[in-house]
Chains A and B, each alone.
Chain A
Amino acid sequence: MTTSDDISGDFEGRNALVAEYVLGLLSSSQHARIGNLIDNDQNLRADRDFWISRFASLNDEFSEAQVPGHIYPAVAARVFGEQGRASKSSSFWESLMVWRGIAAGAVAIAVAAVGFNLAQPGPDIGALTTQLVAALEEEGSDVKFVALYDGSGNVRLTALSGAAVPDKDFELWAIQGGNSPISMGVIPVNERSSVVVSPDVMSGLGDGSVLAITLEPKGGSPTGNPTGPVVAKGAVTEI
Chain B
Amino acid sequence: MATQNTPTQDIADLIARCALRDRDAFRTLYERTSAKLFGVTLRILKDRSEAEEAVQEVYVKVWQRADRYVAGNTSPISWLVAVARNHSLDILRARRPPSADIDVALEVPDAAPSPERAAQNNEERGQIEKCLGTLESDRADAVRGAYLDGYSYEELASRYAVPLNTMRTWLRRSLIKLKECLTA
Question: What residues make up the interface of A, taking CB atoms closer than 8 Å to B?
Answer: 5-20, 23-31, 33-34, 37, 41-47, 49-50, 52-59, 61-68, 71-72, 74-76, 78-80, 83, 91-92, 95-96, 98-99, 101-102, 105, 175, 178, 180-181, 212, 217-220, 222-223, 225-230
Contact partner, A16, options B108, B153, B172, Cβ 8 Å? B172
Contacts of A16 in B (CB 8 A): 109, 171-173, 175-176, 179
Give the residues from 159 to 183 in chain B that come closer than 8 angstroms, CB to CB, to chain A: 165-166, 168-169, 171-173, 175-176, 178-179, 182
Contacts of A181 in B (CB 8 A): 20, 22
Is there a chain A Cβ closer than 8 Å to B104's Cβ?
Answer: yes
The answer to whether A227 and B17 have CB atoms under 8 Å apart is yes
Query: CB-nearest residue of chain A relative to B57?
Result: A78
The answer to whether B147 and A101 have CB atoms under 8 Å apart is no
Q: List 7 A-B contacts (CB under 8 A).
A: A50-B182, A61-B148, A62-B36, A64-B36, A83-B21, A92-B21, A220-B1
Contact partner, B20, options A43, A64, A219, A226, Cβ 8 Å? A226
Query: CB-nearest residue of chain A relative to B113?
Result: A50
- Chain A proximity of B38: nearest CB distance (Å): 5
Query: CB-nearest residue of chain A relative to B61?
Result: A79
Query: CB-nearest residue of chain B relative to A233?
Result: B20
The answer to whether B70 and A101 have CB atoms under 8 Å apart is yes
Contacts of B67 in A (CB 8 A): 95, 98-99, 101-102
The answer to whether B172 and A105 have CB atoms under 8 Å apart is no
Give the residues from 40 to 95 in chain B that come closer than 8 angstroms, CB to CB, to chain A: 40, 42-43, 52, 55-56, 59-60, 63, 67-75, 77-78, 81-82, 85-86, 89, 92-94
User: Do A25 and B171 form a contact, CB below 8 Å, given A16-B176, A225-B25?
Assistant: yes
Contacts of B16 in A (CB 8 A): 102, 226-229
Contact partner, B108, options A44, A49, A175, A217, Cβ 8 Å? A44
Contacts of B150 in A (CB 8 A): 24
User: Do A59 and B78 form a contact, CB below 8 Å, given A24-B86, A101-B68?
Assistant: yes
Is there a chain A Cβ closer than 8 Å to B112's Cβ?
Answer: yes
The answer to whether B96 and A27 have CB atoms under 8 Å apart is yes
| Cα separation A101 to B71 with both chains bound (whole Å) | 11
Query: CB-nearest residue of chain B relative to A5?
Result: B169
Contacts of B107 in A (CB 8 A): 15
The answer to whether A46 and B147 have CB atoms under 8 Å apart is no
Is there a chain A Cβ closer than 8 Å to B158's Cβ?
Answer: no
- Chain B proximity of A57: nearest CB distance (Å): 5
The answer to whether A56 and B78 have CB atoms under 8 Å apart is yes
The answer to whether B101 and A27 have CB atoms under 8 Å apart is yes
Contact partner, A63, options B39, B52, B104, B125, Cβ 8 Å? B39
Contact partner, B171, options A20, A46, A228, Cβ 8 Å? A20
Query: CB-nearest residue of chain A relative to B81?
Result: A59
The answer to whether B118 and A50 have CB atoms under 8 Å apart is yes
The answer to whether B103 and A7 have CB atoms under 8 Å apart is yes
| Cα separation A220 to B176 with both chains bound (whole Å) | 47
Please encode chain B, from 132 to 173, with 1 for each CB lying within 8 Å of some chain A CB and 0 for all others.
000000000001101110101100000000000110110111
The answer to whether B38 and A75 have CB atoms under 8 Å apart is no
Is there a chain A Cβ closer than 8 Å to B6's Cβ?
Answer: no
The answer to whether A15 and B105 have CB atoms under 8 Å apart is yes
Contacts of A19 in B (CB 8 A): 175, 178-179
Contacts of B96 in A (CB 8 A): 27-28
Contact partner, A180, options B24, B78, B147, B166, Cβ 8 Å? B24
The answer to whether A178 and B27 have CB atoms under 8 Å apart is no
The answer to whether A54 and B72 have CB atoms under 8 Å apart is no
User: Do A50 and B26 form a contact, CB below 8 Å, given A16-B179, A44-B112?
Assistant: no
| Cα separation A80 to B165 with both chains bound (whole Å) | 47
- Chain B proximity of A136: nearest CB distance (Å): 15
